[in-house]
């Protein structure tokens, strides 16, 4: 989120192979810099249980070291990951992203997410638009796009 100019998060979601040694290093760094939360380390791979690792074509290489590569997903891929995760905070984040990007084209966004291999339910996506623009906007969208929406319901 922060990489794309949005809110600061408490943790960093990452894809990595976990083992006791890696987790001990992560905890040690978090303790040293006082960035661990009582119930969660600052770096975690719990996202791997909800989403597959993003293909490189949707990532930007941020840092590269001999044994570590740090990549960030592009904003559309991030939207897809948040839709799949479906937590309340993810829905709020999606509303912020959609509103800030002035994205008023749900079908176009759905098409991009589908191309990225996300299996997105349009109703979840429209919940994010409701979060972004409100129920009145969503009502107008439904009225204007009834025929297109019928393809999904």
Q: What pLDDT is stored for residue 38 in this prediction?
A: 84
Domain boundaries, the chain: 2-73, 75-150
Q: What pLDDT is stored for residue 11 in this prediction?
A: 79
The 10 Å CB-count burial string (b at 16+, else e) for 81-109 is bbbbbeeeebbebbbebbbeeebeebeeb
> For residues 153 and 151, what is the distance between their CA atoms, to the nearest angstrom?
6
Q: What angle do CA 89, 92, 95 make, to 5 degrees?
A: 150
Q: What is the mean pLDDT of each run of 10 residues along the chain (153 residues)?
A: 74 87 92 88 84 90 91 93 89 94 93 94 95 96 96 87
Q: What pLDDT is stored for residue 45 in this prediction?
A: 87
> For residues 62 and 118, what is the distance between their CA atoms, to the nearest angstrom?
24
Q: What pLDDT is stored for residue 97 in this prediction?
A: 94
Partners of residue 37 on adjacent β-strands: 40
Residue with tokens 């709020």: 92
Q: What pLDDT is stored for residue 110 in this prediction?
A: 96
CA dist 32 → 23, 44, 61, 68 (Å): 14, 17, 26, 20
Q: What are phi and psi of 101, to 5 degrees?
A: -85, 5
């Amino acid at each position: 989120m922060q990489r794309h100019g949005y809110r600061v998060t408490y943790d960093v979601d990452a894809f990595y192979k976990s083992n006791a040694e890696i987790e001990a290093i992560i905890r040690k760094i978090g303790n040293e810099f006082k960035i661990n939360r009582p119930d969660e380390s600052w770096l975690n791979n719990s996202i791997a249980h909800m989403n597959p690792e993003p293909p490189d074509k949707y990532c930007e290489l941020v840092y590269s070291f001999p044994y570590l590569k740090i990549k960030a997903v592009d904003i559309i891929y991030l939207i897809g990951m948040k839709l799949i995760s479906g937590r309340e905070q993810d829905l709020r984040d999606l509303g912020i992203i959609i509103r800030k990007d002035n994205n008023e084209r749900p079908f176009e966004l759905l098409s991009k997410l589908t191309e990225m291999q996300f299996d997105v339910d349009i109703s979840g996506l429209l919940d994010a638009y409701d979060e972004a623009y409100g129920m009145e906007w969503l009502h107008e969208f439904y009225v204007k796009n009834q025929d297109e929406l019928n393809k999904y319901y």
